[in-house]
Amino acid sequence: MIFNKKNPTFAEQSCKMNNVVGINKALLPLSWLYGTGVALRNYLFDRGILRSERFPVPVISIGNLAAGGTGKTPHTEYLIRLLTKQYKVAVLSRGYKRKTRGFVLADASASARTLGDEPFQMFRKFPDILVAVDSNRKRGIETLLALPDDRRPKVILLDDAFQHRRVQPSLSILLTDSNRLFHQDALLPAGRLREPAKNNSRADILIYTKCNRPKELPGWKQDKTFATYYKYKGLLPVFPAVNFIKKENLEHLKKENYSFLLIAGLANPSDLIRYLKQYTEDLHTIIFSDHHNFSRRNIVRIVQFFKNIKSSRKIIITSEKDAMRLISHPAVPEEMKKFMYYLPVEVGFQEGQEEIFTQKIKDHVKDFARNRIMA
C-alpha cells in the first residue's frame, strides 16, 4: 500500500493538513450498504470474473477516491504540457453534465454543452491534442485507437477514471485533497469517498493536492508519493472580444482597492476564496454546486448582486471551468461582459519533486513503447 495509516507520509506532515473531516454519522448505515456494493464489484474485478481491458498504448488514469474537488483537471493539464512535446496525446473524459450522449470527439463546434465544462476547457487550451468524452471509457479508447494513423493518439489520459475498472490503465495516479484525508473520511453518503480508503493500493502514484505552502516544504526523494499546490495565474477576461484589457493583475487591483464578486460552481471553493482574500478587503461570493449549469435566473441574480456592490471599482471573478459555461450563455448582458474575469490555475510540486515526477512519467511512456516493441 502507498499509504500507511500508522506512519503518515512526509506529504501529510509537511502540508500541515487539516484532519477535521465532516462525516454525517446518521448516514453511516447507508454507507455500509453502499460499501457492500462497491466491495462486491471490486471483488469481481480482482478475481477476473469481470474483465479489465488493457490497450496497446500508454493509458494514464488520473482519479480520486473522493467525490470531486481534488484538482484532477489541473493535474491532467500538467501531463498534457509534459507529454505533448513528444507524443500525440488524447484526453478521454466522461463529460460530466454534458447534454450529449455516447462518444463525442471535440471539434470546432464543441462547447461546454457538448463536452462538459472541464473537457471543453482543455480543448480550448490545447488545440493540438484530441479531447473526447464517453461514459464508456473502454469504448472511448477503442474509438480513439480506430482513428486514422495521422490522428491516432500515442498516449491517452483518462480523466476521473479510478473507479472505471473495465479499463486497466498502464499507470494510475490517485489524487487526494490534503485538507480532507481519505483515511479519515467515510463512504458516501455519510462522507465523500466513492470506495474504501484501503483501495488506494491500486494506484501507482499518490498525490496530495492543495498543499499551498510550497516555501515551507523541504526537499523530498520518495518516488511514489508527491505533494502539489495551486499556482494561480493572472486574471483573463471571460469575453476578450468586448474587453480592452487582455490580462489583469491582482496586485494592481489590490492597490486600487477593488471589490471582487466571486462566482464559483466548484466542489470546494475554499482555496480560491482564501487566495482572493489576499487581494481585496471586500470579497463577495455567490457559490453554486459543482459543475452548476447557470440558469437565466442565476445570471439575473449575479447581475443584480454585482450592481448592488457600492464600490465604483469592482469586477466579477470566476473559475476557469465556470467560465466555460458562462462564455456562451445567452443571458449574460453585454454591459456586464467587460467586468467578468476568470482565474486560471496550474499545479506546482514541492521543491525537489517535480523532476522526480516528470521523469517517472516520461520513463513509463518510453518503457511502455520499448517493451511493446520487444514483445
User: pLDDT by residue (tens digit) across 49-77?
Assistant: 999 999 999 999 999 999 877 889 999 99
- Condensed to tens digits (0 to 9), the pLDDT of residues 15-35 reads 654 445 689 999 999 999 999
Q: What is the mean pLDDT of residues 355-372?
A: 89
289 compared with 158, residue with greater pLDDT: 158
- Condensed to tens digits (0 to 9), the pLDDT of residues 105-114 reads 999 999 999 9
pLDDT tier for residue 213 given thresholds of 50, 70 and 90: low
At 54 the three-state DSSP class reads coil
Axis-axis angle for helices 117-125, 72-83 (nearest 10) = 30
b (16+ CB within 10 A) / e for 88-121:
bbbbbbbbbebeeeebbbbeeebbbbbbbbbbbb
Lowest-confidence segment of 9-23, 163-177, 347-361 by average pLDDT: 9-23
Q: Rounded to whole angstroms, how far apart are CA atoms 243 and 347? A: 27
Q: What percent of the chain has pLDDT over 90?
A: 75
pLDDT at 7: 45
> Residue 223: is its pLDDT beyond 90?
no
pLDDT tier for residue 202 given thresholds of 50, 70 and 90: very high
Q: What is the mean pLDDT of residues 229-244?
A: 84
Q: Which residues contact 33 (CB under 8 A, 6 or more apart)?
A: none
Query: At the topology level of CATH, where does 234-343 sit?
Result: Rossmann fold (3.40.50)
Based on C-alpha coordinates, what's the Rg of the chain?
21
pLDDT tier for residue 245 given thresholds of 50, 70 and 90: low
Q: What is the mean pLDDT of residues 112-121?
A: 95
Q: Which of 200, 168, 236, 169 is nearest to 70 (CA)?
A: 200
273 compared with 245, residue with greater pLDDT: 273
> Residue 2: is its pLDDT beyond 80?
no
pLDDT tier for residue 298 given thresholds of 50, 70 and 90: very high
Q: What is the mean pLDDT of residues 262-275?
A: 90
Q: What is the mean pLDDT of residues 365-369?
A: 89
Residue showing cell 449574460: 332
Q: Which of 344, 369, 5, 19 is nearest to 178 (CA)?
A: 19
- Condensed to tens digits (0 to 9), the pLDDT of residues 122-165 reads 999 999 999 999 999 999 999 999 999 999 999 999 999 999 99
Residue 45 parent element (H or E): helix 28-46
Lowest-confidence segment of 134-148, 193-207, 323-337, 360-374 by average pLDDT: 360-374
pLDDT at 220: 44
Q: What is the mean pLDDT of residues 317-339?
A: 93
Is the peptide bond prior to 189 cis by the omega test (within 30 degrees of 0)? Answer: yes
> Residue 9: is its pLDDT beyond 80?
no
> Residue 205: is its pLDDT beyond 80?
yes
Q: Rounded to whole angstroms, how far apart are CA atoms 82 and 355? A: 11
Q: What is the mean pLDDT of the chain?
A: 89
pLDDT tier for residue 207 given thresholds of 50, 70 and 90: very high
pLDDT at 372: 65
pLDDT at 234: 87
Domain borders along the chain are 10-87+154-230+348-374, 234-343
pLDDT at 270: 86
Confirm whether pTM is higher than 0.95: no
